[in-house]
Structure 1
């Protein structure tokens, strides 16, 4: 919650998206996390805290796209 509050203070996001394996905990994580962030905000707008839509697969998809881009640049070079 403290780390998220720093991000909220510096970046003023409307939504905080939590991904990876951590987000797989679901409401077991998100309910107390939302409450802890709400306790800590002072002048900042309270952002919505949601799990990432892609969950744990985002890293795999990103790595695949990076590999695809690297192959495409090697072929065209």
Structure 2
């Protein structure tokens, strides 16, 4: 009967098995931090460029923001 395994090796295999199980159950849909940061950066850039070059959209967003701030302002 083999002796007890090394605790660091046991924890390594536990982590490895957990990662592989998570990848197989979620498939390629799982979003990690890097993908999320890239998505946020791209969306921010698109919004900024659209605000700069589409005046009607900029006015609509400004009006909506001012309306939101007026409704939620505390006196």
Normalising by the smaller structure, the TM-score range is 0.3 to 0.5
Give the structure-2-normalised TM-score.
Answer: 0.35
Higher relative contact order (CA 8 A, sep 6+): 1
Give the structure-1-normalised TM-score.
Answer: 0.34
Higher strand share: 1
Q: Which has the larger radius of gyration?
A: 2
Higher helix share: 2
